[in-house]
């Protein structure tokens, strides 16, 4: 029997039944689903959840280039990756990394600049390596194509002049050209049906999801609470149904906002539930955050409020608008504001409301 095992099949899982066997009782010597691996690809993108999501268009391209490729992804955020598109998803932990380091890959890519990610690319066995590696106690380039992304990350004044979006940059690092490949999400459609109850609450009105927070790292992105209150009032008067969204960090804020405005706040949930909840909104208003990438992945129209980042970095696929303070921003990639009155105070609720109306016409 062992001589019939197809070790090079995409579905082979090493020591447990493969999907064709588990679901359809197929065995190697009589299986019409045998799919020999054409390329073994490793992607190292640890990052925040949003950064992982916005890297998934690479998977789309590799599946197009090599339909029977096998993709392994090392990340801190495994729950957000779709298991039907990424064959093996592992955390940066000793046991899993030991296994990765003892495999042979055709292509290995590291898009993170942290020491552990760069060191992993250096140590992994691969015929082709792209992105950031480690040499002589410092970050280094696997190929010259990663230079642009490294330099813009090191020098703010150069970063401000960049006109390439993130996807153009990472495709360039991999010696490819971005051609509009979409985001992938681990989206649970059955769970999304649970949240269709929002449609009943909305009673035919367009549902506008308001993501009120932006995480703890760059608080300079926050929009004032009284502006959210005013926007909610305008949305209600304009015939829209506002829904407050956020995680545990935004719970107190959203509880306070719903008390002041009576806007619907469903609470905070797991990542999977949060994605499913968001899928039932017609439009998203958010600061630059994980929500931005979830909305893009769900192909939702979006009003994106930006101040401290280079707007050219973001690819909205023609399905949204980036709105910035008229007065500009003095704290590029900064977590403290240099002004007495933060620039986000110059971004009016009226301006946001007008963009919502235009996108939902």
The mean pLDDT of 51-55, rounded to a whole number, is 96
Q: Tokens 């129209």 — which residue? A: 301
pLDDT score, position 6 = 87
Q: What is the DSSP string of 194-258?
A: HTTHHHHHHTTSEEEEEE----SS-GGGPPPHHHHHHHHHHHHHTTEEEEEE--GGGHHHHHHHH
pLDDT band for position 12 (cuts 50, 70, 90): confident
With a CB cutoff of 8 Å and minimum separation 6, the contacts of 1 are 29
The answer, as to whether pTM is greater than 0.85, is yes
What is the residue extent of each domain of the chain? 37-173, 189-360
194-230 pLDDT per residue, tens? 899 999 999 999 999 999 987 767 678 789 999 999 9
Strand partners, 135: 138
pLDDT score, position 47 = 82
The mean pLDDT of 248-273, rounded to a whole number, is 94
Q: Which residue has the higher pLDDT, 180 or 337?
A: 180
Q: Which residue has the higher pLDDT, 11 or 323?
A: 323
Structural tokens at position 145:
């194509």
Q: Is-contact 114 133, C-beta < 8 A?
A: no
pLDDT for residue 100 is more than 90: yes
The domain 37-173 is placed in CATH, from the list 3.40.50.20, 3.30.428.10, 2.60.40.60, 3.90.1150.10, at 3.40.50.20
Q: What is the DSSP string of 142-174?
A: SSGGGHHHHHHHH-HHHHTT----HHHHHHHHT
Q: What percent of the chain has pLDDT over 70?
A: 99
Structural tokens at position 248:
């545990």
pLDDT band for position 127 (cuts 50, 70, 90): very high
pLDDT score, position 308 = 77
pLDDT score, position 222 = 85
Query: Fold for domain 189-360?
Result: Rossmann fold (3.40.50)
Q: Which residue has the higher pLDDT, 197 or 1?
A: 197
Distance from C-alpha of 7 to C-alpha of 340, rounded to nearest angstrom: 64
pLDDT score, position 186 = 93
140-167 pLDDT per residue, tens? 999 999 999 999 999 988 998 999 999 9
Q: Is-contact 279 261, C-beta < 8 A?
A: no
Q: Which helix (H) or strand (E) holds 350?
A: helix 349-360
The mean pLDDT of 65-92, rounded to a whole number, is 95
The mean pLDDT of 273-292, rounded to a whole number, is 94
pLDDT for residue 78 is more than 90: yes
């Amino acid at each position: 029997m062992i001589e019939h095992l197809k070790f090079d099949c995409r579905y082979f899982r090493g020591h447990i039944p493969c999907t064709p066997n588990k679901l359809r009782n197929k065995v190697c010597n009589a299986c019409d689903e045998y799919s020999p691996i054409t390329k073994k690809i490793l992607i190292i993108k640890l990052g925040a959840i949003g950064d992982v999501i916005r890297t998934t268009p690479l998977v789309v391209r590799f599946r197009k280039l090599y339909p029977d490729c096998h993709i392994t992804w090392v990340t801190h955020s495994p729950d957000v990756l779709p298991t039907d598109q990424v064959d093996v998803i592992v955390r940066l932990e000793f046991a899993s990394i030991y296994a990765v380091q003892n495999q042979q890959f055709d292509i290995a890519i590291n898009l993170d600049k942290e020491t552990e990610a760069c060191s992993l690319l250096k140590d992994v066995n691969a015929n082709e390596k792209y992105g950031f590696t480690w040499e002589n106690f410092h970050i280094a380039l696997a190929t010259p194509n990663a230079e642009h992304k490294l330099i813009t990350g090191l020098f703010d004044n150069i970063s401000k002049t960049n006109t390439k979006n993130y996807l153009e940059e990472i495709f360039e690092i991999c010696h490819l050209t971005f051609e509009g490949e979409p985001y992938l999400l681990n989206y649970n459609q059955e769970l999304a049906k649970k949240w269709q109850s929002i449609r009943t609450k909305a009673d035919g009105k367009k549902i506008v999801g308001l993501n009120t927070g932006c995480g703890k790292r760059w608080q300079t992105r926050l929009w004032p609470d009284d502006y959210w209150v005013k926007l909610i009032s305008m949305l209600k008067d304009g015939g829209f149904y506002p829904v407050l969204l956020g995680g545990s960090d935004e719970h107190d804020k959203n509880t306070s906002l719903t008390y002041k405005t009576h806007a619907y706040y469903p609470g905070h949930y797991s990542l999977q539930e949060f994605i499913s909840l968001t899928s039932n909104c017609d439009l998203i208003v958010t600061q630059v955050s994980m929500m931005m990438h979830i909305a893009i992945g769900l192909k939702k129209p979006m009003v994106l409020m930006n101040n401290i980042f280079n707007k050219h970095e973001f690819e909205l696929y023609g399905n949204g608008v980036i709105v910035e303070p008229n007065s500009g921003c003095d704290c590029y990639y900064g977590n403290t504001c240099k002004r007495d009155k933060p620039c986000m105070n110059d971004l009016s609720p009226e301006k946001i409301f007008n963009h919502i109306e235009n996108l939902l016409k």
